[in-house]
Amino acid sequence: MRLLRRIARALGFELLPLAKAREPMQRLVNALNRFAVDLVVDGGANEGQYGAGLRASGWQGPILSIEPIPEVHARLAHRARRDPLWFIAPPCALGPKSGETLLNLSAESDMSSVLPRSPFLEQLSPSSRCARQIRVPMLRLDELEPIRSGPWQRIFLKLDVQGYEAAVLEGIGALWPRIVGLQLELSLVPLYEGEADWRTLIDRVGSFGFVPWLFLPGYFEPKSARQLQIDGVFFRADTAPAGITGAAYGQH
């Protein structure tokens, strides 16, 4: 096992016992249930790793996954095909306005972004280079038909859009009253040009009444032993069910 862990670390990975690896996601699922979430929106779904992780950790409610890259979208749809409560939106990127956008397609598909890589990321991860650019549809979240006309009233929005989170938040618009929770990828070090830093994003969602609830491990760079990203989970304090204390902590 020690040899396997040394090999994994040399390749930039960390091996964990399966039960421990699932623990953070199980904490999230517990929070989703406590807040009576009736839909999880998976923005930047890639091949469905997040949705599959939710299912493996006990989430039984509906999931709506959104992915812009056509070939990745096809693999996502294949993964979800036997799950009647896992819905797949048409291929599109989320953003502040509807139309089209140019997507920098990374050699590692889960590193693709509307934003260009920062010099730090270029140096850190040459393999995440932009292989090509493609034009994809862009939609505001409040104009995405499965959500706009859907019955869901307690939505949890997860965004993993490689530095474009702040722009996507601008497109929530009329949906804000139906959003009870958020999960945002927070960069502790700038990885994409023009991305909002973690302080800015926390303050931004705080202005809408969301308080920090849970932090999940993200991108850890083993060579420097530095945490580069974490996922912040936030819930709107005024939506906390009876019996949950401390929901108002952090409110201004």
| pLDDT confidence tier of residue 53, bands split at 50, 70 and 90 | very high
Q: Does position 139 have pLDDT exceeding 60, yes or no?
A: yes
Q: Which of 116, 102, 107 is nearest to 190 (CA)?
A: 116
Q: Which domains are present in the chain?
A: 19-96+141-239 (3.40.50.150)
pLDDT, tens only, 97-134: 999 999 998 888 788 999 888 888 888 878 778 889 99
| pLDDT confidence tier of residue 243, bands split at 50, 70 and 90 | low
pTM over 0.95: no
Residue 110 has phi, psi (to 5 degrees) of -80, 0
User: H or E segment at 39?
Assistant: strand 39-43
The structure tokens 């989320």 sit at 94
Q: 3-state class of 219 per DSSP?
A: coil
Q: Which of 138, 133, 146, 141 is nearest to 85 (CA)?
A: 146
Query: What count of Cα atoms within 13 Å lies in the side-chain half-sphere of residue 134?
Result: 16
Q: Which of 231, 180, 184, 210 is nearest to 34 (CA)?
A: 180
User: Do 194 and 173 contact (CB within 8 A), yes or no?
Assistant: no
Query: Which of 113-122, 152-161, 199-208, 230-239 bottoms out in mean pLDDT, i.e. has the lowest?
Result: 113-122
Size of the chain, expressed as the number of residues it contains: 252
pLDDT at 10: 57
pLDDT, tens only, 1-14: 445 545 544 554 44
